[in-house]
Amino acid sequence: MAEAKLTFTDAAAEILAEAVASEEGEGYQVRVEARQTGVRKFHYSMDIVPPDDVKDDDTVLEVSGITVRIDPASMGNLEGATVDFVDLGGLSGSGFKFDNPKEKVHWDDPIAERIQALLDDDINPMVAGHGGVIELLEYKDGTAFVHMGGGCQGCGLASVTLRQGVEEKLRAQVPEVSQVLDTTDHAAGENPYYEPGK
């Protein structure tokens, strides 16, 4: 068994233990998955699973007396991450939150930092409604190189989103940007929001 580098806060462990204890029968476990949706973005899930949901190459954790299983691909995406349970109140509600250092991006270039902030605060919340994500890979000489992931990868309207949404906003709010280049392999998109035209 590989040594796991995923940690749970006390609050998250307590909620997990309560959820498993509420199941009828014994031996229920928690399966955690982290699937890559972009270069530095992941979709997380945690499910209570029956005792026979076992894979030989799982990483196994004991958290507050319950068994947590993580498949190898997910473990690679989760190393160094922390799971917390947060209550935001109001409409935001409560839930598990993954703090994953693999998602954190810091740029030395102040222009790249401004582009990143615009993507994080303005653009990605909009495309997230379609299961999409847009990431900055590099900024150089007026060009922002981006990757479109999730529902944006392979989407039939990806170029429209890029030109009439992302590029217009970036050029308006970060005037140093003269163009946005999409580096995405759209043919590899597994779940496009709109199917591409034939």
pLDDT (average), residues 72-78: 93
Mean pLDDT, residues 176-184: 95
| pLDDT tier, 196 (very low <50, low <70, confident <90, very high otherwise) | confident
All structural domains of the chain with their residue ranges: 7-103, 110-188
% the chain with pLDDT above 90 = 67
Asked if 181 contacts 137 with a C-beta cutoff of 8 angstroms, the reply is no
CA distances from 149 to 81, 87, 107, 195 (A): 21, 28, 20, 14
The pLDDT mean for the chain works out to 89
Whether the pLDDT of residue 189 is over 90: the answer is: no
The whole-number average pLDDT for the span 68-89 is 91
Contacts of 12 (CB under 8 A, 6+ apart): 83, 84, 85, 96
pLDDT for residue 2: 46
pLDDT tens digits for range 121-153: 899 888 888 888 999 999 999 999 999 998 999
CA dist 144 and 183 (Å) reads 10
What pLDDT sits at residue 188?
86
Pick the more confident residue, 167 or 38.
Answer: 167
- CATH class of the domain at 110-188: alpha beta
Q: 41-58 burial string, b = 16+ CB within 10 Å, else e?
A: bbebebeebeeeeeeeeb
Which pLDDT score is estimated for 1? 43
Q: Is the pLDDT of residue 57 over 90?
A: yes
Under the banding of pLDDT at 50, 70 and 90, the label for residue 119 is very high
Q: The domain at 7-103 falls in which architecture?
A: Sandwich (2.60)
Same fold for the pair 7-103 and 110-188:
no
Residue 115 above 80 pLDDT? yes
